[in-house]
Structure formats: C-alpha cells, structure tokens
Amino acid sequence: MACISHKSSVTRNPVCKKKKLWETVAERVTAKLRADEGTDVSVKAFECDLKWRNMLATYRKNAERAKRLGTNSVHWEFFKEMHEVLGRSYEEVEAQRKAKLNGTKLGKAIASKRFTPILPTPTATASQLPNARPPQDLLQLYLELQERKLNMWAQQKALEERKIEAINNLARAITCLSQNNAMQIPKECVSDTSSTQQ
C-alpha cells in the first residue's frame, strides 16, 4: 500500500505509462520481498504496472458496489486501504486545493476576481436522439476498452517472457546433462541401453 500512496502522490495523470515510476516501484517491492522473506525474487516494472491496473479495476468495481449497496457489501481485502488513497471525492480534493491556495498571492488573485460561469450549450433532448449515447459514456467505454487491450498485451508479453525463460532453462539443463554424460555414463544407463538393444 505504501507503493500505491507513493504512486498517487507522484502523479495523477492516468494516460502516460510512467516507466521510471514503475521501475522505482519494482525496485522497492523487490527490496521489501528480499528483506521480509529472504527470497531472491525480482519483480519487473511491467508486472507492477499490470498488477496496479488490475487492482485499480477491482477497486473501481467495488467502489461502485459500495455506493449502491453500502461498504458492508464489499469483501475485497484491499478495499479499505485503496479507498483511503483513492476514495476522496472531487469536493474533498477541491477543498484541499483551495486550502493550499488560501493565503498565497495566486489564491488572493483568484478570490478577488469575479468569474462568469460557462454555461453548457443546449443539446438535443432524449426524444430527438433515442439511441445515442452521451459522449462521456462513449469516452468511458473507449478508455475501458483501451485498458483491457493494454492488460491483455501485458499479460501476453509476460507469458511470452516466461516461455522464453523456460526454454532457456531447459536448454541449460540439456547442456548440463550432455556435459555430465560425456564425462561419465552411469552404469544404470549402460545396462538399460544394452537390455533394450537385445
């Protein structure tokens, strides 16, 4: 969870990949795993990114469920921690931003100005466009589709890397065995081969 709060404090822009951030997170997770468990496991940046995207999608689903049915209906073990970091409403974020601006020159300048609100342009009524989706829904749908594509690509890449690693391990094992067999052929192998040839 410390990595989550670090990630959200570093940046709020969900569009770019943030390669350096994920490398830093991977280094921290690897160091923590080695310190806590004493294992020699190294975590890769793309794995952290993929895990974060999956956790974020799960959090969003559970946050919607909590809105509809109450927080008692959510049983995901990480929901409370994720909600502490990500669950602040727009009003809370805006109030915090205004509190930071109070007392600064920029805050005083903004407070002294009178702004004319920008009113939305009238749109077609629902009866005029019965099957049209609002643009926000289309944008959300597009973003979810892109996120799914990225997740699938990252999963496929991870699978291919694991395949390559397994093939390399197999090649090393075969090389080791062939070197051992060239030096000394065990008696059971010789007796097995002679009995199968007869």
What are the pLDDT digits (tens) for 33-57? 888 887 788 889 888 889 888 988 8
Structure confidence at residue 193 as a pLDDT band (50, 70, 90): very low
- Separation of CA 75 from chain center: 20
User: How far apart, in Å, do the first and last CA atoms of the chain sit?
Assistant: 66
How far is CA 96 from each of CA 2, 28, 30, 88, 115, rounded to the nearest angstrom?
21, 29, 34, 11, 21
The 10 Å CB-count burial string (b at 16+, else e) for 46-75 is bbbbbbbbeeeeebeebbebbeeeeeeebe
Work out whether the CA dihedral 17, 23, 28, 32 comes out positive or negative: positive
Q: Give the separation between CA 162 and CA 158, rounded to whole angstroms.
A: 6
- The two tokens of residue 67 are 């809105």
At 115-139, the pLDDT tens digits run: 555 656 655 555 555 555 567 778 8
Q: In the chain, where are the structural domains located? A: 1-92, 135-192
Model confidence pTM above 0.75 = no
- Separation of CA 127 from chain center: 41
Q: Are 154 and 49 a contacting pair, CB within 8 Å?
A: yes
Q: Are 3 and 29 a contacting pair, CB within 8 Å?
A: yes
